[in-house]
Chain A
Amino acid sequence: MKEKHTIIVTVINSPGVLARISGLLYQRGFNIESAIAAPTEDPKIYKVILVVEESDEYIEQIVKQLNKLIDTIRVVDISHKDNYIVREYIILKLDIQQKNRTDLLELSKQFNAHVIDISIDHIIIELSGNPQKIDRFIELVRPFGIKEYVRSGEFAMAEYQKSKKGEKNGS
C-alpha cells in the first residue's frame, strides 16, 4: 500500500549533491512529492527532506539506495516515528470580497496565520505549522477563492531525547 513518507537525508555539502539525490530517485523510478534542501548549523552538512508516496518495501529500497551515495551521512524515514517535529510553511493569495473579509481574518487568527499584504480585492497570508494544519487551513479558506499558493514542502527535526514513557506527540 502506498503511503506518504517523510525522509530526512543528511549529506555532505558537496557540489552536485542535490542532483545526485534527485537523479537517483528518478533513475530508480521513485516519485518525489516534495523536496527541500537547506544548510544546517554545520556548514559542511546539508539536510534534504523528501516526501515520497510509496509502499513500505519501496521506501526500504529508497532509504538503502540513498544511503549508498558516498555523500550521504544518514537517512531516516520519520513517518512511523513520533519524536519528530514536522513543519511546513505556506503563502496564499486569495481573491476576496469586502464582505467576506472579516470572516477570513477571523479564521486566520484562529490558525495563527499572518496577513502579509492586503488590498481592495486580494489578501496574502502566511502560515506555518504541521502539514495537517496547513492542509486544513487550505480546505477552510478554499471557499473564499484561492488564487495561488506555494508550500515550502516538509521539514523536520528530532525532538530532544525524551524518556520513553508513553509521551506522544501527534503533530
Chain B
Amino acid sequence: MNGAEILIDALKKEGVNTIFGYPGGVVIPIFDVLYSTPDIRFVLTRHEQGATHAADGYSRSTGKVGVCLVTSGPGATNTITGIATAKLDSSPLVVISGQVHTSNIGSDAFQETDMIGLTRSICKHNYLVKDVHDLAKTIKEAFYIAKSGRPGPVSIDLPVNVQNAKVKNYTYPETIDLPGYKPVLEGNTLQIEKLARAIEQAKKPLLYTGGGIIAANATDSLLALLDKTQIPIVVTLMGLGSVPYDHPCYLGMPGMHGTIAANKALMECDLLIAVGVRFDDRVTGPPHLFANQATIAHIDIDPAEIGKNVKTHLPVVGDAKYVLEELYRHVKPRLPDAWNERTTYWKKQYPLTYRKSKDGLISPQSVIDKLNDFVGPETLVVTDVGQHQMWAAMYYHHQKPRHFLSSGGLGTMGFGLPAAIGASIGNPQKPVVCISGDGSIQMNIQELATCSINHLPIKILIINNTYLGMVRQWQDLFWNKKYSQVCLKQGPTCPPDCTGDPKTCPFEYIPDFVKVAEAYNIKGLRASTPEEVIPVLKEGIETQGPVLMEFMVSREENVFPMVSAGKPLSDIMTGDKP
C-alpha cells in the first residue's frame, strides 16, 4: 500500500463517508485512490474556503468530524479562514493539505507554503507527516484530538512523496498514546455538591449556557435540570436551540444584541451558573461589570477558559453532560418563585418587537418572523454574518440543538452558503435554510454551483438592504452617519456624503441575484414589497430543489436591542419602537 491508500483506508476506519475539497498537483495520488473508492462521497466545492466551511457545517449539524482535502500552496492557504472559523467555534475538523516533496520543503518550491506555521495559532493541533510509517498513527490521533475534549480543527500536511511511499505491513492502530493530552470529563464531585448547595441558597440563580452544551450533546441533561430546578436561563448565540424558544425558563440570548430580559437577569442574578460558555466580550461587556452581583460558577471542559475573562468563584472542569447529570442528582428540586416571576415579567414586558417599515420596503425582521410559519423543528437554519444573523438569532423559533449554525467567534462573512451545503449533505432528509445578507452571500457565491449540481434543496434567503448593514449600523450610531464604503451600490459618481436615501439613488443593485440564481440553474424569486413576502416564502419553500429568495428590505433598519461595545449590559439601547 502507498501513503494515499493508507490515508483513504484510515479515513474509512474513522467512519468518514464524505469529504469536501478541491484537487491540485500534489494531491493527485490521493484523488487517484478516491477515483475508485465509491464508499466515500467527495464533494467538489468551487473554492477551498467553501470546502472548509462545508466540512464545518457538516460537522456542526451532524456532530461528526468534518473532513476537507486540498492541495498545497494556494489550496492550503484558501482553507485558513475556514480553519480559524472552526477553531473559534470549537468545531471538529480534519483538514488534509498536500505538501511538496519532503526534499523540497524549505526551498520555496512551486506551491509550497508552511502550512504548519500558518495554522499553528488557528487550529487545535497540526501535523506535517514526513514518514509514511507515521501516517496511520497521525490520522488516528488527528480524529481523536479533533473530536475529544474541547473540539477543534486539526490540520495534516502531507507531502506528495509520502503519499506515494510504499509500506509493506500496514495496520490501523487501535489505541492512542498521547501522554500530554488527557481531557478531564468527570467534574470534581465536591465542587458539584458545592454548586448544588449554592443553588439551594441562591435567591436569584441564573443559568448561562452556550456552545459547550451542544458540543457535549447535553441538551437533554440541561432540560432535565431545568425541569427539576426551574432556574431561569440565557443561551448564547452558539447555544441557540439547546433550549426551545418557548421554554418557560428561557429568557433569550444575552449580550450585545441580547434580549432585555436576559441582560437584566445577568445584571441582577446572585448566582450565575455558566456552562460551556467562554464569557465572550460580545456577551459580557466590560468583564468587571458583568454579573457583578453574582457568585460565578463555571463548568467547562477547557481549564484555560475558567477565569480567563471573568473571575470565577466556583470552577468545575469537566464535560457538560457529565456535570449537569451529577448536578441533577445532587440538587434539590426548586419551585418557581419571586425571581422566576420577575424574570418572566421582564420577558413579557420587553418582548422583541420591530416596526412596520415606512418606506414601502420590507422590514427585515418580518422575513424571519414569517419564515417560522413555513418551516418546522426539523429545519436546519444556517446564517451568514451581520444584521441578518442577529435577526435570525432573535426572531427564529429555535427548537433543537445543532439546527442553528452560525459563525459566532470569528464572524466570518461567507460562512453561510457553504456551511448550508455541508449541513444539507450531512442531513439529506432535512430541510435547510440559509439566511444571508447581500454582502455575505457574495463572499462565497461560487458555491451556488456546488448546491445546484448536487441538487441540494437549500432555500437561500438574501436579506438585501444594499448595505454592509452591520457596519453601516455602527457608522450610523457611533460615527455620525458617515457611511464610508458600506453601500454596495456606491460607484465613483456618488456624492461622498450620501446617507443613502433610496429615493434619490439612481443606481440598480449589482448583481441581480435572481439572474445569478438562474445562471446556476437555481430558481430565483424576489420580494420587493411587504405583500410579496408570504407568497415568495410559500413558493420558495414549497419548490423542490434549491431556491434563492431575495427580500428587498428597508435599507437603514438597525438591530435592537443593542449594548454598545465596551458598555455594561445595563446600558441597553432599544431604538425607536413602533
Interface residues of A (CB under 8 A from B): 11-12, 15-16, 19-20, 23-24, 27, 57, 60-61, 64-65, 67-73
Contact = CB atoms under 8 A, between A and B. Distances in A.
Most buried by A among B116, B124, B181: B181
Contact of A67 (B179, B303, B307): B303
A60 B303 CA distance: 10
Contacts of A68: 302-304
A68 B181 CA distance: 8
Contact of A70 (B117, B180, B302, B303): B180
A23 B123 CA distance: 13
Given A11-B180, A69-B180, A23 B121 contact: yes
A61 B308 contact: yes
Nearest to B149: A68
A24 B125 CA distance: 12
Contacts of A67: 303-304
B206 interface: no
B304 A65 contact: yes
16 contacts: A12-B179, A15-B128, A19-B120, A23-B120, A23-B121, A60-B307, A61-B304, A61-B307, A64-B308, A67-B303, A68-B303, A70-B180, A71-B180, A72-B180, A73-B179, A73-B180
A132 B519 CA distance: 75
A72 B130 CA distance: 21
B303 A64 contact: yes
Contacts of B145: 70
B121 A70 contact: no
A70 B125 contact: yes
B304 A19 contact: no
A67 to B, nearest CB: 7
Chain B contact residues (Cβ within 8 angstroms of A): what range?
A: 10 to 19
B178 interface: yes
Interface string B498-535: 00000000000000000000000000000000000000
Given A67-B304, A70-B181, A73-B179, 18 more contacts: A12-B180, A16-B116, A16-B120, A19-B117, A20-B120, A23-B120, A27-B121, A57-B307, A61-B304, A61-B307, A64-B308, A68-B304, A69-B180, A70-B124, A70-B125, A70-B145, A71-B180, A72-B180
A20 B128 CA distance: 13
Most buried by A among B120, B179, B180, B308: B180
A70 B130 CA distance: 19
A68 B145 CA distance: 12
A23 B126 CA distance: 13
Contacts of B303: 64, 67-68
Contacts of B304: 61, 64-65, 67-68
Contacts, number: 40
B303 to A, nearest CB: 5
Most buried by B among A20, A24, A70: A70
A61 B311 CA distance: 12
**7 nearest A-B residue pairs (beta carbon):** A64-B304, A70-B125, A73-B180, A27-B121, A72-B180, A70-B181, A23-B120
Contacts of B128: 15-16
A15 B116 CA distance: 10
Contacts of B181: 70
B193 to A, nearest CB: 24
Contacts of A64: 303-304, 308
A55 B124 CA distance: 26
Nearest to A73: B180
Contacts of A57: 307
A24 B145 CA distance: 18
Interface string B168-185: 000000000011110000
A170 B117 CA distance: 41
A16 B303 CA distance: 24
Contacts of A23: 120-121
A67 B305 CA distance: 12
Contacts of A27: 121
Nearest to A24: B121
Interface in B81-132: 116-117, 120-121, 124-125, 128, 130
Contacts of A70: 124-125, 145, 178, 180-181
Interface in B307-326: 307-308
Contacts of B125: 70
Contacts of B179: 12, 73
Contacts of A11: 180
Nearest to A60: B307
Nearest to B121: A27
B153 to A, nearest CB: 13
Interface in B170-227: 178-181
Contacts of A16: 116, 120, 128
B181 to A, nearest CB: 5
B265 to A, nearest CB: 28
Nearest to A10: B180
A138 to B, nearest CB: 36
Contacts of A61: 304, 307-308
Contacts of A12: 179-180
Contacts of B302: 68
A23 B304 CA distance: 17
Interface string B280-322: 0000000000000000000000111001100000000000000
Interface in B449-480: none
A125 to B, nearest CB: 39
Contacts of A73: 179-180
Nearest to A23: B120
A71 B177 CA distance: 11
A97 B224 CA distance: 83
A68 B120 CA distance: 13
Nearest to B177: A12
B130 to A, nearest CB: 8
Nearest to B126: A16
A22 to B, nearest CB: 10
B107 to A, nearest CB: 18
A144 to B, nearest CB: 45
